[in-house]
Structure 1
Amino acid sequence: MTLVPSPRPGFRLTGWHVLAIVTGFFAVVVAVDVAFVVMAVKTFPGEVSATPYEDGLAYDRALAELRAQEQLGWRTTAAAEPGAVVVELHDRSGRPLVGLAVSGELQRPATGAGRIVLAFHETLPGRYVAHPGAVRGAWDLTAHLRGPSGVRISAERRLIWP
């Protein structure tokens, strides 16, 4: 007589096993999502301005200034030339605007880092030039213009240097 070992019962998938597998799967998904959110917030918190609330309060004042600018009819053009920023100003009839105080700044489109303050000088009637140094790529220009009578306007343009 030969003794044959009795077969061992095999692995059976029970409800507890399924519960553990599903719970483990969703725990991994949630952990990965939390890790991505934490990394995203640490690398860029979404703030460009150090004073977002005050910037928001100034919004109505900026809209009123834009309406006043439209009534003046002044036209500005800006160009990126090698080593220079050129702003040209004309009135409603196309005559150059002379004797203005023009200042401005350049900053990268996606960040506030690397801001360059510009000092413009009138080289020809209605043509104002600033020299920011060696810049490359895309920059946003914000120019502030003040006329002899105290009129103030602002202009914004994206400039690209090769």
Structure 2
Amino acid sequence: MTAPVTPAPAARRAFRFTGWHMTMILVAFFGIVIVVNVYMATLASRSFSGVVVDNSYVASQHYNTWLDEAAKEKALGWQVSAVRQADGRVAVSLIGEARPQNAVLGGEAWHPLGQEADRTVSFRKAGDGRWISIDPLPEGRWRLRLKLDGDDAAGHHAVRLQQML
């Protein structure tokens, strides 16, 4: 007698890489690249105008003067910091051994993206080496150039406010 013949298990079909697979890989790859590029471009356009100075050549003519001013400031031994408080006023602190005691602080603030008009900022003395602006600055990014005048010292101090003001 012969044994009944059972059919062999169905052979597994081997995976076949087709043009559709390659198309899907390319679409997914370039889709991710495009999404990331759009995201990065959006972040860049919201945070930086692309203009550091209006005229690079004219700015380069003042470069050595700026370096000399920076060297003079460093020699004074002062550190200047500025922070926007919750009420919008700017608090400035002058830290250092030989800081002037009877100084008057003033300055100007400008919006690096040009969305707000430049402003003159006036300060009142708030203690030893501390000043607070009289008027608040609106929220946003601001650059602040401070001018310290006094009997015992005078100087210009450029301070870039690092936080979003």
TM-aligned CA deviation for residue 48 of structure 1: 4.9
Corresponding position: 1:88 with 2:87: no
Where does residue 81 of structure 2 map in the other structure? 77
8 Å Cα contact 2:82-2:93 kept in structure 1: yes
* Structure 2 letter corresponding to 1:84: R
Distance 1:149 1:133 in 2: 29
Query: Structure 2: any 5+ residue segments left out of the alignment?
Result: 1-48
8 Å Cα contact 1:105-1:118 kept in structure 2: yes
Where does residue 138 of structure 1 map in the other structure? 141
Alignment partner of 1:148 out of 123, 148, 151:
151
* Structure 1 letter corresponding to 2:71: R
8 Å Cα contact 2:103-2:148 kept in structure 1: yes
The total of aligned residue pairs comes to: 115
Where does residue 128 of structure 2 map in the other structure? 125
- RMSD between superposed Cα atoms in Å: 2.7
8 Å Cα contact 2:78-2:95 kept in structure 1: yes
TM-aligned CA deviation for residue 121 of structure 1: 1.4
- State TM-score, norm by structure 2: 0.58
Corresponding position: 1:115 with 2:118: yes
Q: What is the DSSP-based 3-state SS (H/G/I as helix, E as strand, rest coil) of the residue aligned with 1:138?
A: coil
Query: Which structure shows the higher strand fraction?
Result: 1
* Structure 1 letter corresponding to 2:64: D
Alignment partner of 2:62 out of 45, 55, 58:
58
- State TM-score, norm by structure 1: 0.59
Identity of paired residues, percent? 23
TM-aligned CA deviation for residue 78 of structure 1: 0.8
| CA 58–156 in structure 1, closer or farther in 2 if over 3 Å, else same | same
